[in-house]
Structure 1
Amino acid sequence: MQLSMTTAAGSGVPIAPVREPIVEVRNVSKLYGNTVVALQDIDLSFEKGHLTSLLGPSGCGKTTLLKIVAGLLQPSSGEIRVKGKPVNGPGAERAFVFQDFALMPWASVLENAAYGLKVQGVAKSEREDRARHYIGEVGLHGFEKKYPHELSGGMRQRVGLARALAVDADILLMDEPFSAVDEQTRRKFQEDLMHLREVENKTFLFVTHSIEEAVYVSDRIVLLSPRPGRVSEIIDPQISREISPDDLRRDENYLDTVERIWTGIKKYVE
């Protein structure tokens, strides 16, 4: 599949290239064993301060690409650069929010949220202060002493997000972070994510299976083709962020972009 013209959704007008890339994916391919090609010749740039979603059918390599950017997997060929420097493993400038929460069951909410800072050697008083701040930011004030088994799935995911925010990484890598919660909680998470993005001014790389979610939260959407995953299309949703969340979901541009993406990928759905 050839890389399509990059356009603003619904306009047919070429969009401007990434102005200030903080992450560069250069000709990345990933093979598992000698037969399974998960990704092939991926070239992408991710703009500082923007939220970019990776979207595509199951098995297209979205999570694989995210883990390669995180330094959790090595590419078979090509390279990743963050702030112009090659990535050879995990780094303090990147934080990963896992789909399955990845909390320590024996640790309190406060201890879980402060764990990344502990690993970095931050003094206890400072790391707990920072953890408390972000626990409040994600809506869990008052739950600092609770343990994961005492929380709902949505609350556990908020703890994972607080932990990622607390380490003050420039780039947050989020692997389907809302997929394990109910629809009502998921919508609230999406609204909270948009608020955090504005307040924190960080760069987000966001993997999702949901077209509606990708269009709702993203500055840019990267569509990947089925295995081997290649860049199929890049879309910049032309959606006003000034309107209310409820009105946005009824906005004509939002609905048109959702339909355009579905039309492009439904042929890959069995």
Structure 2
Amino acid sequence: MTMSDAVFNIEKDVPADAVVEVRGICKKYGEVEALRNIDLDFPRGKLTTLLGPSGCGKTTLLKIIAGLIEPSAGEVRVNGRPVTGPGPERAFVFQDFALMPWATVMRNVAFGLELKGMGKAERQSIAAKYIAEVGLSGFEDKYPHELSGGMRQRVGLARAFAVNAEVLLLDEPFSAVDEQNRRKFQEDLLRLVEKERKTFIFVTHSIEEAVYVSDRIVLLSRRPGRVSQIIEPKIDRTASPDAIRRDQGYLDTVEEIWQGLKHYVD
């Protein structure tokens, strides 16, 4: 497979059922232009990765979609409604976990439901389901300081799933764990994507990770970040993880993306 097999025409191939629409997004921090004229659509039930060189505005764009940062120009819509701030239809998984240190795993996972006014029994039932989904059954009464970094990240994922948000925004969620746990998390994420059928927007620095987990990859240029290519990896998801990582199509896509990005590396 060549890159031409996987690249969408940016102007013509707009997903028919886009949940998130990004139109003309620009962002400046003083004299620094972080993003310029970003136009993107994120389809329902798919995982789209934002990939590009350091400083290209990946996390900035993710936080604009989350409503945590205001754009300098442009608009984001979720299900046709303008984003003016955070909303219950979007959940953010932070790189640094952002857990409440004084709260147990159960309380952390159920906290979003508690804020919604849900009764204790119901929210704990929902939280227990997702604690089990991420492999933390038996740790419900533990505190964050008693968990490894990988386990704390699992708590963050469970919390995001528990609130039943339609859009999951993940900012380098596996960057703080070792390679073995990172691969396991990638496989768990793919299982949850298939099961939950939500819209995932994922930020990573890893080309291999992006190709492995993504339905679509948005390549951003060096700052100011602009959309340079949209890629759809052609991967047989029914194959085993080891078979996928050895597949020639997977390897070719990783190499083609590297060839497109390496001139941005100083």
User: Over the residues paired in the alignment, what is the CA RMSD in angstroms?
Assistant: 1.4
* Displacement of 1:13: 7.1
Residue among 5, 12, 34 paired with 1:11: 5
1:71 correspondence with 2:46: no
* Displacement of 1:9: 3.8
Kindly provide the amino acid, as one letter, of the partner of residue 17 in structure 1: V
* Displacement of 1:150: 0.6
Cα-to-partner distance string for 1:126-160 (whole Å, 9 max, x where unaligned): 11111010000000001000010110000000000
- Per the alignment, residue 114 of structure 1 pairs with 110
Residue among 63, 85, 91 paired with 1:89: 85
- C-alpha distance in 1, partners of 2:22/2:244? 31
- C-alpha distance in 2, partners of 1:98/1:136? 20
- Per the alignment, residue 176 of structure 1 pairs with 172
Which runs of no fewer than 5 residues in structure 2 stay unpaired?
Answer: none
Kindly provide the amino acid, as one letter, of the partner of residue 5 in structure 2: S
- C-alpha distance in 1, partners of 2:204/2:129? 27
- C-alpha distance in 2, partners of 1:9/1:17? 19
CA contact (8 A) 1:53 1:222 kept: yes
* SS of residue in 2 equivalent to 1:240: coil
Residue among 16, 22, 25 paired with 1:25: 22
- C-alpha distance in 2, partners of 1:170/1:185? 26
Residue among 237, 245, 249 paired with 2:241: 245
Cα-to-partner distance string for 1:78-135 (whole Å, 9 max, x where unaligned): 0000001100000100000000000011100000000111111111111111101000
- C-alpha distance in 2, partners of 1:246/1:27? 40
- Per the alignment, residue 195 of structure 1 pairs with 191
* SS of residue in 2 equivalent to 1:213: helix
CA contact (8 A) 1:53 1:214 kept: yes
- C-alpha distance in 2, partners of 1:114/1:11? 43
- C-alpha distance in 2, partners of 1:103/1:36? 31
- C-alpha distance in 2, partners of 1:259/1:51? 21
- Per the alignment, residue 214 of structure 2 pairs with 218
CA contact (8 A) 1:10 1:253 kept: no
- C-alpha distance in 1, partners of 2:4/2:223? 27
Kindly provide the amino acid, as one letter, of the partner of residue 136 in structure 1: A
* Displacement of 1:233: 0.7
* Displacement of 1:17: 3.1
- Per the alignment, residue 5 of structure 1 pairs with none
- Per the alignment, residue 201 of structure 2 pairs with 205
Residue among 252, 257, 261 paired with 1:261: 257
Which runs of no fewer than 5 residues in structure 1 stay unpaired?
Answer: 1-7
Kindly provide the amino acid, as one letter, of the partner of residue 133 in structure 1: K
* SS of residue in 1 equivalent to 2:65: helix
* SS of residue in 2 equivalent to 1:178: coil
- C-alpha distance in 2, partners of 1:223/1:80? 19
* Displacement of 1:12: 6.7
- C-alpha distance in 2, partners of 1:145/1:14? 47
- Per the alignment, residue 32 of structure 2 pairs with 36
Q: Percent identity?
A: 68
- C-alpha distance in 2, partners of 1:26/1:170? 20
* More displaced 10-residue stretch of structure 1: 56-65 or 123-132: 123-132
- Per the alignment, residue 231 of structure 1 pairs with 227
TM-score of the superposition, structure 1-length normalised?
A: 0.95
CA contact (8 A) 1:173 1:205 kept: yes
Aligned length: 263
1:135 correspondence with 2:131: yes
